[in-house]
């Protein structure tokens, strides 16, 4: 027999208080967690978008609230050669720049995927064009394209003697259009290259070894292994790239402001031009809204056309 | 089909030597298993044979041809990778036909060859599936099918079963062995699992630290291990290796036990080796204290101590002894292995 008596203690059956119970209740927790994000989206996305769409159906100008005019603004745009010009250049700009960014970006990604000395330094350098604020790089390009002080003209005329006079990059329509596309490609390459590099690194090296033993050439390995396996990520990156390029504003506005003679207006710059300096808020909004169908189409095309491949999906055999 | 000769092959990655002069002769149609612990250089040797790694010095010949500078695709070999390396975006058919597609073979030939390999491996119903839709064993078979379709001189397997569960591993082991018996293609197989090596090989090459420790038929390695490393590596449960020296009445172990020595034993024996399955229960045996009893069904593994020397024993009989009790055990005299203490070399006994 032991002389001491055992101390008895049983775990108390604790009832959580009402606040704890409330947060344990799934529907409330979900609501509480979603609230901040939903609030931000509502205030900074839904409201401006809704206002823009509403403005597109009014004849609002700066300083005067407008009246509902139905689709009058859009009817007017269809007959407006400047709008058609902007549509043409937006599509052309997006098409050529996207092609350039992906060709060069993929090439860079493939290079960086090899074992190179100073690999991480090179990767950091490649990110530079993307890190620099757009307006800053636009001003740099403005200088590069300057009719008098352009470094390209300097090199070609003074140093190499290949040309007899300076190039007029921004003075006439087509050179200006291509100059802007070149600047956009320069800025867009890092995003494409780094994203595709991430994609390349997910491809198992043993696949290349297996293909090597199967007798493939370097081109065949790219064509049959790298490219198809990169396609899903390529689709996502391309979707984003198309959206960013089509809605581009800063580069064009900082370098040419749509000129010369409105030849380099994108839909975004034209919308701003009409809406803010021009004061025609309704019409500017209508131009902005007219971008939506193009964006939806481009997104659907690249998403459904390229994104999900049968081999990525799990079970099922159809 | 072809023989393979590996002559004094060395490999260095920068300053790190991983293979220190390896010699292996593989006869035409032979199934050779390279076995050893992780990092012993066995996979590197296989990859050098495949042409995926450069040969630092030495020579590798497939058939009469030295292949040191022959690119992988021209070596006429096929390899099965540890992770199978199936092309995930291609169907089973396309995976198997890929090498022919690259060589621009006619479609009829591709269908015939893939069909033949699929029949051998029982893959006919899966040809239109993607790798994702296959089980581990099926993927393994597709990887083998891709190799068979090539009709190679030499098959290379790089730890092909290590991603499978235990039961499937036994089944695939039998399938690979059977496949080799059917096709009779020279095969080099890398594994770290000595049971795979014992069951499949015509010849085992035991590697350790970039050296070949011993090469020979499985049972020769089991019966006459050339050194301590091979003795400890081959066989499961591992051989008992007891330190000590010849003394009065037998082998005087460091733990105090006296173990019987065969009559021919010489004085320099420093390590006494006896396999667990070569220890018998005998009425007139040495008394030993039971430490642990592990019945596996077919046999009973017992760890028992003679003095302070622990010995693992594997008895065919069911042993009902409990820890702490005393049993009487006796090593089979003819099956004792003796090794030199310093070099670990086997003493001819």
% chain A with pLDDT above 70: 94
DSSP B232-299: HHSSSSPPEEEEEEEETTEEEETTS-EE---TT--TTEEEEEE-GGGEEEEEEEEEEEEEEEEE-SSS
CA of A317, closest CA in chain B: separation in Å? Answer: 7
Q: Do B72 and A228 make contact, defined as CB atoms within 8 angstroms?
A: no
Whether A316 has a pLDDT exceeding 70, the answer reads no
Query: CA-CA distance, A25 to A147, in Å (whole number)?
Result: 68
For B240-340, CATH gives 2.40.50.140
**Of all helices (H) and strands (E), which one includes residue B209?**
none
Max CA separation in chain B (angstroms): 79
Q: pLDDT for B5-22, tens place per residue?
A: 999 999 999 899 999 999
**Domain extent listing, chain B:** 4-232, 240-340
Query: CA-CA distance, B217 to B199, in Å (whole number)?
Result: 11
Whether B3 has a pLDDT exceeding 50, the answer reads yes
Q: Which residues contact A157 (CB under 8 A, 6 or more apart)?
A: A163, A164, A165, A166
* Residue in A213, A313, A314 nearest the CB of B78: A213
The pLDDT score that the predictor gives to residue B278 is 93
Query: CA-CA distance, B139 to B128, in Å (whole number)?
Result: 13
The pLDDT score that the predictor gives to residue A163 is 81
Whether A1 has a pLDDT exceeding 60, the answer reads no
Q: What ipTM did this prediction achieve?
A: 0.83
- For the four alpha carbons of A158, A159, A163 and A167, in that order, the dihedral sign comes to negative
The pLDDT score that the predictor gives to residue A10 is 85
* Residue in A214, A312, A317 nearest the CB of B99: A214
Chain A residues within 8 Å of chain B (Cβ atoms):
204, 206-207, 209-216, 220, 224-225, 228-229, 309-317
Chain B residues within 8 Å of chain A (Cβ atoms):
50-52, 72-73, 77-79, 81-83, 85, 87-90, 98-99, 102-103, 128-133, 146, 150
Q: Which residues of B152-186 are buried (b: 16+ CB within 10 A; e: fewer)?
A: bbbbbbbbbbeebeeeebeebbebbbebbeeeebb
For B4-232, CATH gives 3.40.50.300
Query: CA-CA distance, A155 to A30, in Å (whole number)?
Result: 62
> Regarding beta strands B77-80 and B154-158, do their DSSP bridges make them parallel or antiparallel, or are they unpaired?
parallel
- Mean pLDDT for the stretch of residues A84-91: 94
Q: Which of A14-18, A105-109, B121-125, B210-214 has the lowest mean pLDDT?
A: A14-18
Architecture of domain A82-309: Orthogonal Bundle (1.10)
List CB contacts (< 8 A) between A312 and chain B. Answer: 88, 132
% chain B with pLDDT above 70: 98
Model confidence at A311, pLDDT cuts 50, 70, 90, reads low
List CB contacts (< 8 A) between A215 and chain B. Answer: 73, 99, 102-103
* Residue in B83, B89, B98 nearest the CB of A311: B89
Q: pLDDT for B77-119, tens place per residue?
A: 999 998 899 999 999 999 999 999 998 999 999 999 999 999 8
The pLDDT score that the predictor gives to residue A2 is 52
Tokens coding A298 = 């481009």
Model confidence at B267, pLDDT cuts 50, 70, 90, reads low
Whether B184 has a pLDDT exceeding 50, the answer reads yes
Q: Which of A2-11, B2-11, B79-88, B305-314 has the lowest mean pLDDT?
A: A2-11
Query: CA-CA distance, A128 to A136, in Å (whole number)?
Result: 12
List CB contacts (< 8 A) between B51 and chain A. Answer: 212-213
Q: Which of A92-101, A229-238, B250-259, B301-310 has the lowest mean pLDDT?
A: B250-259
Q: How far is CA B344 from CA B213, B228, B333, in A?
A: 11, 5, 21
**Domain extent listing, chain A:** 82-309
- Mean pLDDT for the stretch of residues B207-231: 93
List CB contacts (< 8 A) between A216 and chain B. Answer: 73, 102
List CB contacts (< 8 A) between B158 and chain A. Answer: none
Query: CA-CA distance, A212 to A222, in Å (whole number)?
Result: 12
The pLDDT score that the predictor gives to residue A165 is 84
The pLDDT score that the predictor gives to residue A310 is 63
CB-based contact B348:B265 (threshold 8 Å): no
Q: Which of A46-60, A293-307, B189-203 has the lowest mean pLDDT?
A: A293-307
Whether A162 has a pLDDT exceeding 90, the answer reads no
The pLDDT score that the predictor gives to residue A313 is 55
Whether A135 has a pLDDT exceeding 80, the answer reads yes
Residue A16, number of CB atoms within 10 A of its CB: 10
The pLDDT score that the predictor gives to residue A317 is 40
In the Cβ-directed half-sphere of B111, how many Cα atoms lie within 13 Å?
Answer: 3
* Residue in B73, B90, B129 nearest the CB of A317: B129
- pTM score: 0.79
- Where do runs of H (alpha helix) occur along B103-257? 107-121, 136-149, 166-183, 194-200, 218-223, 228-233
SS in 3 state form for chain A? CCCCCCCCCCCCCCCCCHHHHHHHCHHHHHHHHHHHHHHHHHHHHHHHHHHHHHHHCECCECCECCCECCCHHHHHHHCCHHHHHHHHHHHHHHHHHHHHHHHHHHHHHHHHCCCCCCHHHHHHHHHHHHHCCHHHHHHHHHHHCCCCCCHHHHHHHHHCCCCCCCCCCCCCHHHHHHHHHHHHHHHHHHHHHHHHHHHHHCCCHHHHHHHHHCCCCHHHHHHHHHHHHHHHHHHHHHHHHHHHHHCCCHHHHHHCCCCCCCCCCCHHHHHHHHHCCCCCHHHHHHHHHCHHHHHHHHHHHHHHHHHCCHHHCCCCCC
Closest by CA to B154, choosing from A220, A213, A263, A310, is A213
CA of B64, closest CA in chain A: separation in Å? Answer: 20
Closest by CA to A241, choosing from A176, A306, A309, is A306
Closest by CA to B306, choosing from B346, B237, B259, is B259
List CB contacts (< 8 A) between A315 and chain B. Answer: 133
Query: CA-CA distance, A28 to A5, in Å (whole number)?
Result: 49
List CB contacts (< 8 A) between A220 and chain B. Answer: 102
- Mean pLDDT for the stretch of residues A282-293: 92
Can you state the angle between helices A81-112 and A227-246, rounded to 10 degrees?
Answer: 140
Mutate to test the interface with B, among A213, A233, A307 (most CBs of B within 10 A): A213
Q: For the purposes of burial, counting CB atoms within 10 Å of the CB of A305, is it exposed (0-12), middle (13-18) or buried (19 or more)?
A: exposed
Placement of tokens 């072809």 in the chain: B2
Q: Which residues of B36-54 are buried (b: 16+ CB within 10 A; e: fewer)?
A: beeebbbbbbbbbbbbbbe
Q: Is B158 helix (H, G, I), strand (E, B) or coil?
A: strand
Placement of tokens 């390995």 in the chain: A221
């Amino acid at each position: 027999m032991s002389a001491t008596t055992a101390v008895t203690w049983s775990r108390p059956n604790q009832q959580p208080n009402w606040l704890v119970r409330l947060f344990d209740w799934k529907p409330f927790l979900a609501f509480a967690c979603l609230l901040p994000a939903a609030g931000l989206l509502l205030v900074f996305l839904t409201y401006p978008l809704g206002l823009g769409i509403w403005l597109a159906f009014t004849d609002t100008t700066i300083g005067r609230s407008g009246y509902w005019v139905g689709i009058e603004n859009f009817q007017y745009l269809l007959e407006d050669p400047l709008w058609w010009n902007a549509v043409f250049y937006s599509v052309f700009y997006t098409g050529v720049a996207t092609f350039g960014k992906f060709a060069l970006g993929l090439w860079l990604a493939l290079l960086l995927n090899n074992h190179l000395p100073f690999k991480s330094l090179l990767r950091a350098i490649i990110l530079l064009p993307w890190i620099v604020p757009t307006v800053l790089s636009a001003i740099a390009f403005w200088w590069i394209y300057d009719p008098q002080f352009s470094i390209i003209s300097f090199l070609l005329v003074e140093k190499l003697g290949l040309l007899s006079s300076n190039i007029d990059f921004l003075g006439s329509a087509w050179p200006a259009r291509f100059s802007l596309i070149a600047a956009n490609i320069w800025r867009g390459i890092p995003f494409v290259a780094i994203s595709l590099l991430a994609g390349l690194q997910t491809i198992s090296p043993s696949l290349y070894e297996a293909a090597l033993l199967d007798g493939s050439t370097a081109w065949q390995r790219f064509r049959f292994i790298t490219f198809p396996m990169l396609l899903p990520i390529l689709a996502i990156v391309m979707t984003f790239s198309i959206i960013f390029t089509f809605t581009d504003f800063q580069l064009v506005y900082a370098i040419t402001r749509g000129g010369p003679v409105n030849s380099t207006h994108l839909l975004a710059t034209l919308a701003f031009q009409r809406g803010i300096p021009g004061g025609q808020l309704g019409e500017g909004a209508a131009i902005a809204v007219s971008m939506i169908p193009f964006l939806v189409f481009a997104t659907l095309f690249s998403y459904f056309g390229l994104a999900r491949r049968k081999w990525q999906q799990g079970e099922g055999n159809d | 089909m072809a023989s393979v000769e590996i002559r004094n092959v060395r490999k260095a990655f920068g300053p790190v030597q991983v293979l220190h002069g390896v010699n292996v002769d593989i006869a035409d149609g032979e199934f050779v298993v390279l076995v050893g612990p992780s990092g012993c250089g066995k996979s590197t040797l296989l990859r050098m044979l495949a042409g995926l790694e450069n040969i630092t010095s030495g020579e590798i010949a497939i058939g009469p041809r030295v292949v040191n500078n022959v690119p992988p695709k021209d070596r006429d070999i096929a390899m099965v990778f540890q992770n199978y390396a199936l092309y995930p975006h291609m169907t089973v058919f396309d995976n198997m036909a890929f090498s022919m597609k690259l060589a621009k073979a006619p479609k009829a030939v591709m269908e015939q060859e893939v069909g033949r390999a699929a029949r051998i491996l029982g893959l006919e119903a899966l040809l239109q599936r993607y790798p994702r839709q296959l089980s581990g064993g099926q993927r393994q078979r597709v990887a083998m099918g891709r190799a068979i379709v090539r009709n190679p001189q030499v098959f290379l397997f790089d730890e092909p079963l290590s991603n499978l569960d235990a039961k499937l591993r036994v089944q695939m082991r039998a399938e690979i062995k059977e496949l080799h018996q059917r096709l009779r293609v020279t095969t080099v197989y890398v594994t770290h699992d000595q049971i795979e090596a014992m069951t499949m090989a015509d010849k085992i090459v035991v590697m350790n630290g970039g050296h070949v420790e011993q090469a020979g038929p499985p049972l020769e390695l089991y019966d006459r291990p050339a050194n301590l490393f091979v003795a400890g590596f081959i066989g499961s449960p591992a051989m008992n290796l007891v330190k000590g020296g010849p003394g009065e009445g037998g082998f005087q172990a460091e733990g105090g036990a006296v173990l019987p020595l065969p009559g021919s034993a010489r004085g320099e024996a420093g390590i006494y080796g006896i396999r667990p399955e070569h220890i018998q229960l005998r009425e007139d045996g040495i008394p030993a204290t039971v430490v642990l009893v592990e019945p596996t069904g077919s046999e009973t593994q017992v760890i028992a101590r003679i003095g302070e020397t622990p010995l693992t024993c594997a008895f065919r009989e069911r042993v009902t002894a409990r820890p702490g009790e005393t049993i009487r055990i006796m090593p089979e005299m003819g099956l004792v292995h003796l090794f030199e203490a310093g070099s670990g070399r086997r003493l001819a006994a």
